[in-house]
Chains A and B, each alone.
Chain A
Amino acid sequence: MEQVAGPKWKKHLPESVIKLVLFSCATLSIFTTVGIVSVLLFEAILFFQEVSIFEFLGSTKWTPLFSSKSFGIWPLITGTMLTSIGAMIVALPLGLLSAIYLAEYAPNRVRRVLKPVLEVLAGIPTVVYGFFALLYVTPILRQISGDISVFNALSASIVMGIMILPMVSSLSEDAMQAVPRSLREAAYALGATKLEVASKVVVPAALSGIMAAFILAASRAIGETMIVAIAAGQNPTFTFNPLVPIETMTAYIVQVSLGDTPTGTIEFKTIFAVGLSLFVITLGMNLLSQYLVRRYREVYE
């Protein structure tokens, strides 16, 4: 193949031009990454020239928009952790059970209908989930308990859990489908019930894929913006109480963008420091997820 194309190569100048154009398209993705990293680093370094990194990582007060400024990122991190962990508490059991149902129990016809319907949940814009959280889930929660504020992490977590559920179920199901039939049949032949096959054979065999799905979903929850910006509030509070208003890293970036903060001020530069923290956390989780899939993939031949 190469030999036939090889000698003609020099006669075809257009061929090499085309190759160069396509090569540049592919290289653009490298530039995107370089762009993201350098923009965040450059502006964050400017920020850290004015604010010490020890205050940033050591203080638990975040008030850059007030007159007495304090730049401790922990309230934003606890806010982000609160909503993301809450979302995972909703999405993990529901997503895993749905995945087991789809992979082990559902007849083929049911699965072919259910899977795309569940994936509709993943395709709904996040601003719609924000609307749903603030105007329907929160009022219901407030009827159950009067202690819940209008803006709270609980409502945002529940709705965000529903949003990432299809991601958990779809990726876990793919991992379970990849477990060879013979393993299941061996377990059935030993007299195992369906639950025992699912919980003692299929899930352990697919565990690396399932873990990867969980981590990807968690990283998605950490980076999710509109639900928390609408429903969780804009009060950076160092707390683990899900019933009061908090603020996540993403919601803070939105808050600054919506205000008329002049570019170049220290208030404006905070979004790059926060953005860099967000980028590092999600990148770390994505790499971990890819590593898990590669390292612990069980190969059945």
Chain B
Amino acid sequence: MAAIPRTAFQKKLDHRKLKGHIFYALCLIAIVIALAMLGALLYNVLSAGLSRLSWDFLTNFPSRFPERAGIQAALIGSIYVVGSAGILAFTLGLGAAIYLEEYSNRNWYARIIQVNIANLAGVPSIVYGILGLEIFVRFMDLGKSVLAGSLTLALLILPIVIIAAQEAIRAVPPSMREGGFALGATRWQVIWHLVLPYSFPGILTGVILAVSRALGETAPLLVMGALTFVPFAPDGPMSRFTVLPIQIFNWVSRPQEGFHVNAAAGIIVLLVLLLSMNAVAVFLRYKFQKKAQL
């Protein structure tokens, strides 16, 4: 009985196994293509821009001559705008997350906010630029200033901060809160002395990732009206400004080769900033995980 189907089965099995091997190879190829693209991108940027990096490049202002142009205005603009956007989003986002997790009891209003936040996270960033232009620049009459730019970016990253902070707060074991309540602490005392210290590294990680997203954003600030050529560093919240990604965009759009080299050098500076922020986030998460295991 075994003899007849066995050969047919064996043939079929070989065929099935071969298909499996081919599929495995395809999976590997897909991963390799993705990694190769990442490698090609980094290699091209580094080989084009590395030689252009110098102290002068960091401290000069933009110029009609590529070899004299620098990124000081854009770098300081980015630090001002993204830094204040981060602080704003951290404060407001943490507040919203605490309300949703600790106070709302998942009522209908909290559910609406939750759905709303999920949808806001999917709104294209350029739409936030239109919002910033209308509400902050024109309606509130802040002008195309550092303040208007950071408010726009703060709204953009707010959903990311809220979602990350909610996850961190949710990871605090309920027994901790119950212990606090049993000792007669008020709700806010429990949050301030128990929940927040425990979840803080997680919240901070989320904020850093959100800020690194803001640091790379170009479109919303372009639409809001940030300048593309700024020969001065911003000196206050009402000053006009540019940011690093917009400076890079401006250089990429020019036809001259020299500006493309500048764009590559600017990208290296931007990626170094992003990578170091991400490294801090990874470090925090690692420390947090170790603490949580204790």
Give me the interface of A with B, judged by CB distance under 8 Å.
1, 4-5, 8, 12, 14-15, 18-19, 21-30, 32-33, 35-36, 39-40, 43, 93-95, 97-98, 100-101, 105, 114, 116-118, 120-121, 123-132, 134-136, 162, 165-166, 169, 193-196, 198-199, 216, 219-220, 222-226, 229-230, 250, 253-254, 257-258, 263, 271-272, 275, 278-279, 282-283, 286-287, 290
Contact = CB atoms under 8 A, between A and B. Distances in A.
Interface of B: 16-17, 19-20, 23-24, 26-31, 33-35, 37-38, 40-41, 44-45, 48, 91-96, 98-100, 103-104, 110, 112-113, 115-120, 122-131, 134-135, 138, 155, 158-159, 162, 178, 181-182, 184, 186-188, 212-213, 215-219, 222-223, 225, 228, 245, 248-249, 252-253, 260, 263-264, 267, 270-271, 274, 278, 282
Contacts of A105: 24, 27
B113 A135 contact: no
5 contacts: A21-B95, A26-B104, A98-B31, A125-B215, A226-B218
Contact of B98 (A22, A98, A166): A22
A94 B34 contact: yes
B45 A131 contact: yes
B120 A32 contact: yes
> Which among A117, A131, A220, A254 has the greatest number of chain B C-beta atoms within 10 A?
A131
A29 B97 CA distance: 11
Nearest to B24: A105
A105 B27 CA distance: 9
A127 B252 contact: yes
A127 B216 contact: yes
Given A22-B98, A257-B129, A29 B218 contact: no
Given A127-B249, A131-B267, A226 B219 contact: yes
B24 A258 contact: no
B158 A1 contact: no
Contacts of A220: 122
A106 B30 CA distance: 13
A129 B112 CA distance: 36
Contact of A28 (B123, B158, B178): B158
A98 to B, nearest CB: 5
A120 B117 CA distance: 24
A28 B122 contact: no
B116 A254 contact: no
A196 B12 CA distance: 13
A124 B112 contact: no
Given A121-B38, A258-B228, 15 more contacts: A22-B99, A29-B162, A32-B155, A98-B31, A126-B216, A127-B248, A128-B45, A131-B248, A131-B252, A195-B16, A216-B122, A250-B124, A253-B129, A257-B222, A282-B124
Contact of A128 (B24, B260, B271): B271
B188 A18 contact: yes
Among all A-B residue pairs, the 7 with the closest Cβ atoms: A223-B124, A125-B216, A25-B95, A97-B30, A101-B27, A22-B99, A225-B219
A290 B155 CA distance: 22
Contacts of A130: 249, 252
A26 to B, nearest CB: 4
Central interface residue in A26, A95, A97, A230, by most chain B CB within 10 Å: A26
A130 B253 CA distance: 10
A4 B219 contact: no
A28 B96 contact: yes
A290 B135 CA distance: 29
A275 B127 CA distance: 6
A132 to B, nearest CB: 5
Contact of B126 (A21, A230, A278): A278
B92 A195 contact: no
Contacts of A19: 99, 103, 187
B16 A4 contact: no
B1 to A, nearest CB: 18
A283 B123 CA distance: 7
A278 B122 CA distance: 12
A231 to B, nearest CB: 9
Nearest to A192: B16
A284 B178 CA distance: 42
A232 to B, nearest CB: 13
Contacts of B282: 116
Contacts of A258: 222, 228
B13 to A, nearest CB: 8
Contact of B253 (A43, A169, A230, A287): A230
A278 B119 contact: no
A114 B31 contact: yes
Given A26-B113, A35-B135, A8 B186 contact: yes
